[in-house]
Structure 1
Amino acid sequence: MGPCCVFWLPGALSLGLAQVPQHAPPSPSSVRITPGEAQIDDTLDVAGDSIAAEQIDTRMAIGVTVDGHGPYRFVVDSGADRSVIGARLARDLALPAGEPVMLHGMAGSSRRETARIARLGIGGGVVEDVAAPTIPEAALGARGLVGIDALHGHRLMLDFETNTVTVEDARRPMPARADDIVVTARRRGGQLILTQARAGSLGIRAVVDTGSQLTIGNLALRDALFRRGRLPPETTSTTLVSVTGETRVVPLAIVPEMRIGTIMMYNVVVGFADLPPFALFGLADTPAMMLGTDLMGSFRRISLDFGAKKVRFQLRRCPPAPAPGAGCPPAPAPR
């Protein structure tokens, strides 16, 4: 497979992703933007509290407080239905035990003990009375996870250039701007489901999952793409490791073309498996995809507005003459 072509489509923002050699595990895709007169939103800001974030692999981690203690490093996981706390941290803070709950990870589900958090502080906001499953920190790669139970009613901005996360009360309206790349979503189970998404000509549902480093499609999506002849043969596989300890081998394939709103993406590496989150969000039988941070890190910023049910994307900008190694391609040669 050769390098992919990058070009502008009329009325759409065009991104090109690197292809993957057939016999090597794919690395996270990188977005390359063709120089041109793209209308990029320079004012996409959420006027809340900016929290310095640390990059863990391709995930974003922020500092949160637990019952007034901390801050502690928690990964922001918009694909998780529950916030999670490290087992050692829960013991150190002597948090009271709660009722066991079912925790749904990317590779499996399991019943877990919980700790009761009276006040979980995120930026300038506080979420009260959180029953957080306890997981060993070694499995989390952090002291905990911030799930959508703590993001409900908030607007979340992920800035991948400055490694900051901004949190704001979603009840405060955010003015629309003509140059925003805005994708309307639906709420289901507290999650934002993107409906303006396509894989080739196939309409799909998509979820922004900031806790997963790999973009995953369900088997309904895989089968539909195969029937349409829009999915090349699987070339390799990878192993998913859930925070709950389960592992699962998933095949990888390249989806030639994807579209989210007006954003075009080509040659996207996707793993395919029927994982628990698809059923949790009512997407088991509908062609759907969990968009991982392998794709999200290719943007400058992503805003998840759980109140207005909108996701805003801002592309990385390339200068007219990018420096070598800047991740920006040269202008395409005339055909």
Structure 2
Amino acid sequence: MRRLLLMFMAFVSVGAYAAVRTAPAGDGGHVTVPAWVNGKGPYPFIFDTGAEISDVYAWFADQLHLPRAGSESLNGMTGSAQVARYRIESLTMDGHTLRNVQLDALPNRKDKGVQAGVLGLDFMAGTLAVFDFACHRMEVHPRTGDVAGVTAKSGAAIHAEHAGQTDLLQIPVQINGALGIAVLDTGNRVSKINSTFARLAHVDTNAASFHDEAPIEGANLKPMVPRVGPIGRVEFGSIQLDGVHAQVVDLPVMADVDAGKPVMWLGSDLLQTVHLVYDHTGQQVWFRPSDCAANVHG
């Protein structure tokens, strides 16, 4: 996650776009969409509401011999790190193109993920982004188009606030009736709550049902070990999920958003049965059950 100005970017939108089919989660656990870089591709990118700026992984920048454009401080889950910056002419997914883009180079993953990069909020600005993991579909629509058609069956919009000083969006969420905020992060594989939220929601991380999980490594590669286990009922918008498992960990990024308050990082694991329409520019989101939800576990 970064706090950067986006003044150097220009958008090109073309008509009504066709949905793209997502690739299933591979060894890295991320669902990806096909994207084109400088007209070449497709390459697997993560479509990520939790990234303020689009990025590429270092191995991909090297493979494409992308031109360097200095360096930048990258603020991730576990802290900050100085990373290389690269320049590309165009980044395209589902008919939507971002031109004259400067991208940070993410440290290469330590798992088996083969993602080339991340499509962030700069890419989604001025669009309605649709996420439907159960139907294996992602879409990008212009905000000036048929908004009612895109949000059909989704009910009333939920107003979203900026999370702290970031460009990320947050919405109200309840865990076991306790109220907190949830930062929408479709690029996060496992949802997380801080210890403050765990206490308010009567979640006992010392119970036998909890255990330590693999360390979380952010941009600075300083690992933090989360506790994982059942946190109970989670409610956001019209969505109610029971028997939810999540990580409990006090990440620095959570304190940046709202220090000392109940915070959740709402990831793709809890959106597997949800149809989400995301309007970053208008700070609105729509939730409804996915039409394909019955097939998620089938």
Query: Is the TM-score greater than 0.5?
Result: yes
1:1-335 to structure 2, matched below 5 A, reads: 48-57=17-26, 58-135=29-106, 137-139=108-110, 141-172=114-145, 174-175=147-148, 177=152, 180=155, 182-188=157-163, 189-195=166-172, 197-225=173-201, 230-234=202-206, 235-242=210-217, 244=219, 245-280=221-256, 282-299=257-274, 301-316=275-290, 327=297
Task: Give 1 or 2 for the bigger CA radius of gyration.
Answer: 1
Q: Distance in 1 between matches of 2:154 and 2:63?
A: 48
Instruction: Name the stretch that deviates more: 57-66 or 73-82.
Output: 57-66
Shift of 1:276: 3.7
Give, as a single letter, the amino acid of the residue that structure 2 aligns with 1:143: A
C-alpha contact 2:61 2:105 (8 A) present in aligned 1: yes
Gap change, CA 1:113 and 1:248, over 3 Å in 2: same
Gap change, CA 1:128 and 1:53, over 3 Å in 2: same
Gap change, CA 1:152 and 1:246, over 3 Å in 2: farther
Shift of 1:277: 3.2
Shift of 1:255: 2.1
What's the CA shift string for 1:258-292, capped at 9, x where partnerless?
22123222232121222243245x22332111111
State the number of aligned residues: 272
C-alpha contact 1:159 1:302 (8 A) present in aligned 2: yes
Give, as a single letter, the amino acid of the residue that structure 2 aligns with 1:271: Q
Give, as a single letter, the amino acid of the residue that structure 2 aligns with 1:286: K
Give structure 1 stretches of 5+ with no counterpart.
1-45, 329-335
Give, as a single letter, the amino acid of the residue that structure 1 aligns with 2:268: T
Q: Distance in 2 between matches of 1:135 and 1:326?
A: 31
Shift of 1:54: 0.6
Instruction: Name the stretch that deviates more: 100-109 or 266-275.
Output: 100-109
Greater relative contact order, per chain length (Cα 8 Å cut-off, separation 6+): 1
Q: Secondary structure at the match of 2:135?
A: coil
Q: Distance in 2 between matches of 1:179 and 1:117?
A: 36
Gap change, CA 1:233 and 1:240, over 3 Å in 2: closer
Aligned-residue sequence identity (percent) comes to 22
Gap change, CA 1:203 and 1:67, over 3 Å in 2: same
Q: Distance in 1 between matches of 2:36 and 2:153?
A: 37
Shift of 1:160: 2.0
Gap change, CA 1:180 and 1:60, over 3 Å in 2: farther
Give structure 2 stretches of 5+ with no counterpart.
1-14
CA RMSD of aligned residues (A): 2.8
